[in-house]
Chains A and B, each alone.
Chain A
C-alpha cells in the first residue's frame, strides 16, 4: 500500500435495503492534506465518512485508513483518529473542563486538556456546565474532544454549522494550525467558501459516487470557464455575453458607449456555481 495515503478507497458500496447510498466510490486522501467532501444531503457523504470512521460496515470495496481496515478498529487505530460528528452527545451535568479531562484519559498521548480548551476558544468556559453553552460553543467542545488525543487524522462533519462569522474565522485558523502541524483533515461541509478557504483538494459526491476531485480553484475546470461580461443597454435592459477575451469585449463596449459602460460587471463562475452545475447534472 501507498504510505503517502492516509485514506484509500476502491469500489466502496453500501446499501440500506433497496436504497443504494454509496455506489462504487473511489477516494484517495494524502497524508497531511486538508480534504473537503462536498455533496448534497443524501448523496452518500455521511455514510462514506462513517465507514471511514469505523462506525458502519460496508457491503463491498476496499478501504484502508491509516494503514488499517476501519471495519475492525483497534484501540491503537482509534487513538490516531479524531472524530467530530454532527451534533453528538452532550454531558449536560458536567463542566467543559471535566469532559475534556475525562476524554484525555482515554489516550496514551493526549494533549494537555487546559491547552486544548484554550485552543478551541473555551478558556473562559472551562468551569461552565456544558448545558449552559451556546450552539457554537458546544461545537467547539466537540472539536476539543476530537483533537484532545492528538490525532494523525481528523474527521470533521459539518464543523461550523451554527457558528457566527467571527467564530468561523477563528475555527478556520485552528484547522490551519492543525494542518500545519501535519494532521490530515477530512472535512464535510455545506459552505463552499469554507471548502475554498481550507481545503487543498475538494471532492464532490453525488449519487453515491465521487464525481470529481480537484483543488478548489480547478474544480470543474473553473479556471478555464468563460467569464461573463454584462452591462446595461441605453434602454435599461441587462445584456450579457460569455467571452474568452473579456478585456477586448470591454474595450469594444467602451468604444460603443463612448466612455463609461453602464452597469458593467465581469465575473468568473464561483465555486458554488460550478458545484451546483455538477450536482445538478447528476
Chain B
C-alpha cells in the first residue's frame, strides 16, 4: 500500500536499479555478524569433539545424542530420555519468563507514568531510568550482591528497624537470581513500552469513557491493543537476554546450578571442553526461541484475518 502513496512512487523510481547496491551494507552486516556465526555454530554442532576443546572434521550426531539420550554415567546403559539438560533449559526458561512478567508489571506503570508527564519532565525521567545502565552490567550485578548479602545494608536496615531478627538469606538463592535478572533488564521493558504509550492518543480513552466504558475495559479494549507492539518488543528484549544470562546466576545464585548460559560457557571454557555439545545446546536454544516467536507471529496473522 505504501508504494501507492503519493511521493512513495517517485521515491522508488529514484532508487530503481540501485536497490541491490543500496542494500549491500545491510546484507554485509547480517551476513558477517549473523549468518556466518550461526552457520559456523550449526556446523560445529555436528562435528566430532576433540579432547580438551576444538573439533575434528568428522560428521556425527553425538552432541545431540548426548543432549536428548541418557546412557548412564559410564555411557553403556540402555538409552533413555535425558532429563538433565531439559531440566537446565526448563529452569532457565522459567526464570526468564518470571523476570519478563515482573518487568512488565513494574515497567508498564513506569512507562505510563513517564509518558504522561510534560515534555521536559519526560526527558528527565527517561534519563533517570537509563543512567544506571551506563554502568557495566558486571558492576551492577556485584553491587546488587553487596546490597542483599546477609551482612549487607538491606539486611542491616531491616534488622535495625526490627522487621526481621535474622538475615533474610536471599543471597545464593533463585530469588536472588530473579532479582538480578529483573534489575538488569527492566529498562529494556520500560523504553519500548514508553515509546508505544507516548504515541497513544489519550482522547481515545476519553471517548471510551464518554461511552460508559469502565477503567478496566478502557485498559483492556482501548489502550492495550494500541500499545501491544511496545509490550511485545519489551517482552522479547527482556526474555531473550535473560534466557542466556550467566552473570546473575553465577554471582547472585552462587553458581550452584547450571543455567543455559553457564552450561554453554562450561563447554567452551570449562574442563569439559566439548565445543560440539556447546554448539548443539546453543542451536537447540535458538530453535526453541524461534518456534515460540513463529508461533506468536502465526497467531497474530490469524487474529488480524478474523
Query: Are A and B co-members of a single complex?
Result: no
| Interfacial residues, chain B to chain A (CB-CB below 8 A) | none
| Interfacial residues, chain A to chain B (CB-CB below 8 A) | none
